[in-house]
C-alpha cells in the first residue's frame, strides 16, 4: 500500500489525525499486545543490550504500547519506564505490568538529559510526523555510552522490483529522513471493527520510512551505528530459510532489502 504524500504545510494536520487515532482507539493496543504475547518480540536483544551496561540500568520504552518491554526490562533488573501518546496505553501498562508509565509525546520527552542507559523505540517512527524530533529527544535522554535499539518496517523492502536501482539511489544520492503520507479516512473504523492485525498492517502508518532514512536520522543526532539488519523476525522463517536469509543479509546490497530494519546505535562517551 502506497500512501499519498502530503505537503510540508499539512504536517501538523497529519499529526493531529494521528493523535486523535491513538487517543480514541483502545482496541489497537489490545491487538498489538496479542502480537507480543504470541512471541514476536526481541527479548534476546533486550537481554544482550542491558547486559552490556553497568547496573543499575535506566530503561525507556518510547511508544510502549501495552508495556511488554517495560515488564521484560524490570525482570532483568532495569529501572524501567514506558511512555506513550495514549492514556489508555499507560493505564493498561500500569495495571498489568506495574512500573512507571507516562503519557507523553515522543517529540518532547519529560525527562532530564542523560538519564537512561538503554532506549527501545520499536515500530514507532513509521507512526510519527517528525521522526527527527523523536530521535533528537532519544539522543538527549541517553546517557554517555547509552544504547538505542530502533526498529520499524523498511518500506524499501516491501516495494516491488526493481529494488537494486532504489537501493543504489538511496545509498549514494539519498538525503530523505522521512516521507509523510495521509492516513486513510476510515482508519479508525478499520481498527475498531477488525480482529485481524495482519489485515490492518501499516494502515495507521503516516511515515513511509526506510532503513536509509533511519540510519540518516540516527547519525544526524550524533549516535554511532554499531550494527543493523533488515531481516524479518526470526520466527517468521523456517530454520533453513532463516540461515539462508542471514547469509544473504551480509551481501553488500541485500542487507538493505529486507522488510523490517533493526538498528543498534550508541551515544559517545563512557557509560
Q: What is the pLDDT along the chain (271 residues), one digit of tens a residue?
A: 456 676 766 898 889 989 998 888 888 888 888 888 777 899 999 999 999 999 889 999 999 988 999 999 999 999 999 999 998 888 888 887 767 899 999 999 999 999 999 999 999 999 999 999 999 999 999 999 999 999 999 988 766 556 788 888 888 888 999 999 988 888 888 888 888 888 887 888 999 999 999 999 999 999 999 999 999 888 888 888 889 888 888 888 888 988 999 999 999 987 6
Give the pLDDT confidence of 172-190 residue by residue, as tens digits: 888 999 999 988 888 888 8
Domains along the chain? 8-266 (3.40.50.150)
Q: Where are the beta strands (DSSP E) in 154-246?
A: 224-229
Distances from the Cα of 254 to the Cα of 45, 101, 152, 164, 189, angstroms: 22, 39, 18, 9, 37
CA nearest to 28, candidates 183, 148, 178, 181: 183
Beta bridge partners, 266, equal 147, 224
pLDDT at 50: 97
pLDDT of residue 9: 65
Say what percent of the chain tops pLDDT 90: 51
Average pLDDT in the chain: 89
* pTM of the full structure: 0.93
Alpha helices in 38-129 (DSSP H): 43-51, 68-75, 87-96
pLDDT at 88: 87
- What span, in angstroms and rounded, lies between the C-alpha atoms of 264 and 262? 7
pLDDT of residue 1: 44
pLDDT at 95: 83
Amino acid at each position: 500500500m502506497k500512501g499519498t504524500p502530503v505537503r510540508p504545510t499539512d504536517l501538523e494536520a497529519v499529526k493531529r489525525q494521528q493523535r486523535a487515532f491513538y487517543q480514541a482507539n483502545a482496541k489497537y493496543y489490545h491487538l498489538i499486545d496479542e502480537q507480543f504475547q504470541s512471541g514476536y518480540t526481541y527479548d534476546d536483544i533486550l537481554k544482550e543490550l542491558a547486559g552490556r551496561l553497568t547496573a543499575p540500568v535506566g530503561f525507556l520504552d518510547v511508544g510502549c504500547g501495552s508495556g511488554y518491554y517495560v515488564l521484560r526490562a524490570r525482570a532483568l533488573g532495569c529501572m524501567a519506564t514506558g511512555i506513550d501518546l495514549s492514556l489508555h496505553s499507560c493505564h493498561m501498562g500500569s495495571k498489568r505490568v506495574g512500573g512507571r508509565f507516562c503519557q507523553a509525546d515522543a517529540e518532547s520527552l519529560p525527562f532530564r538529559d542523560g538519564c537512561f542507559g538503554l532506549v527501545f523505540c520499536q515500530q514507532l517512527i513509521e507512526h510519527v510526523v517528525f521522526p527527527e524530533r523523536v530521535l533528537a529527544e532519544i539522543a538527549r535522554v541517553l546517557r554517555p555510552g547509552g544504547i538505542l535499539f530502533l526498529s520499524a518496517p523498511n518500506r524499501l523492502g516491501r516495494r516491488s522490483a526493481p529494488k537494486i536501482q532504489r537501493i543504489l539511489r538511496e545509498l549514494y544520492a539519498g538525503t530523505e529522513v522521512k516521507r509523510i503520507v495521509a492516513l486513510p479516512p476510515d482508519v479508525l473504523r478499520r481498527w475498531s471493527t477488525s480482529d485481524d492485525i495482519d489485515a490492518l498492517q501499516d494502515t495507521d502508518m503516516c511515515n513511509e520510512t526506510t532503513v536509509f532514512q533511519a540510519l540518516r536520522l540516527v547519525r544526524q543526532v550524533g549516535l554511532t551505528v554499531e550494527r543493523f539488519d533488515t531481516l524479518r523476525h526470526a520466527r517468521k522463517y523456517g530454520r533453513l530459510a532463516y540461515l539462508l536469509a542471514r547469509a544473504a543479509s551480509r551481501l553488500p546490497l541485500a542487507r538493505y532489502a529486507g522488510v523490517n530494519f533493526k538498528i543498534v546505535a550508541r551515544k559517545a562517551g563512557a557509560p
